[in-house]
């Protein structure tokens, strides 16, 4: 028997998490050296994948990026429009989409017992952030801000301590959500699990 969510629920969750990413982007940013401010977007982006799974998390963040590109003032600082996707922060925005997908893909494959431990989810978020957000973010700085890779790294490394903290917060929140809603990822329930009498421990 499957516990997969119905399409209406998926659409509602995707829209809700896209709105969460937008809300975190619009919170006051911390200005640092370089053209990219520090916001809570990374927290919301990775939480989308960790809570919803790969495909819905990907779609939630893609919806956020598409909304901003279409003119909604939901990028950091209230920015909007296609110009943002051709500016120095474009790599980070593109990285958000793929980081949510990878984080979700990893979390979907974790054993159920790992979903109630934040360590595995933290590692999934940190790996996704490093591979996509930071790598593509630096690539955007090199291509759109005419920086060398060394200069791009000097800017990007400022975000790492904040990202570690945001990943800790993300993992704690995602763990709490999965404890409260253990079937949120829509995993199929095996016949063995269904047939197990109440009170019989899992092996």
Q: List, for residues 64-95, the tens digit of each pLDDT value.
A: 999 999 999 999 889 999 999 999 999 999 99
Give Cα separations from 25 to 45, 155, 196 (angstroms).
Answer: 10, 19, 46
**Is residue 2 a part of any domain in this protein?**
no
Separation of alpha carbons 21 and 185, rounded Å: 19
**Is residue 19 a part of any domain in this protein?**
yes
**Is residue 194 a part of any domain in this protein?**
no
Token pair, residue 104, equals 């979700």
Question: Radius of gyration of the chain from Cα atoms?
Answer: 18
Q: Which long-range contacts (CB under 8 A, 24 or more apart) does 127-130 make?
A: 127/102, 127/103, 128/46, 128/49, 128/98, 128/99, 128/100, 128/102, 128/103, 129/42, 129/46, 129/99, 129/163, 129/167
**Is residue 119 a part of any domain in this protein?**
yes
Does the pLDDT value for residue 55 go beyond 60? yes
Confidence of residue 196 (pLDDT cuts 50, 70, 90): very low
Domain count, the chain: 1
Does the pLDDT value for residue 63 go beyond 90? yes
CATH number, domain at 81? 1.10.1760.20
Does the pLDDT value for residue 51 go beyond 80? yes
What pLDDT is attached to residue 190?
42
**Is residue 48 a part of any domain in this protein?**
yes
**Is residue 173 a part of any domain in this protein?**
yes
**Is residue 30 a part of any domain in this protein?**
yes
Confidence of residue 197 (pLDDT cuts 50, 70, 90): very low
**Is residue 63 a part of any domain in this protein?**
yes
Confidence of residue 116 (pLDDT cuts 50, 70, 90): confident
Q: What angle do CA 81, 82, 83 make, to 5 degrees?
A: 90
Mean residue pLDDT across the chain: 88
Q: Residue 80: which domain range?
A: 7-184
């Amino acid at each position: 028997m499957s516990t997969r969510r119905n399409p209406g629920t998926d659409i509602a969750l995707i829209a809700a998490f896209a709105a969460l990413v937008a809300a975190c982007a619009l919170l006051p940013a911390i200005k640092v050296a370089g053209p990219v401010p520090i916001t809570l977007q990374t927290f919301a982006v990775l939480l989308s994948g960790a809570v919803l799974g790969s495909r819905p998390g990907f779609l939630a963040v893609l919806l956020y990026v598409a909304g901003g590109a279409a003119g909604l003032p939901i990028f950091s600082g209230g920015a909007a429009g296609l110009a943002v996707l051709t500016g120095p922060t474009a790599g980070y925005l593109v990285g958000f989409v793929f980081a949510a997908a990878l984080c979700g893909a990893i979390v979907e494959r974790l054993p159920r017992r790992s979903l109630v431990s934040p360590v595995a989810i933290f590692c999934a978020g940190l790996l996704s952030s490093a591979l996509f957000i930071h790598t593509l973010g630096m690539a955007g700085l090199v291509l759109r801000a005419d920086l060398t890779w060394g200069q791009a790294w000097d800017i990007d490394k400022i975000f790492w301590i904040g990202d570690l903290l945001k990943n800790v917060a993300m993992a704690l929140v995602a763990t709490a959500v999965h404890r409260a809603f253990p079937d949120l990822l829509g995993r199929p329930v095996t016949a063995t699990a269904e047939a197990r009498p109440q009170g019989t421990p899992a092996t």
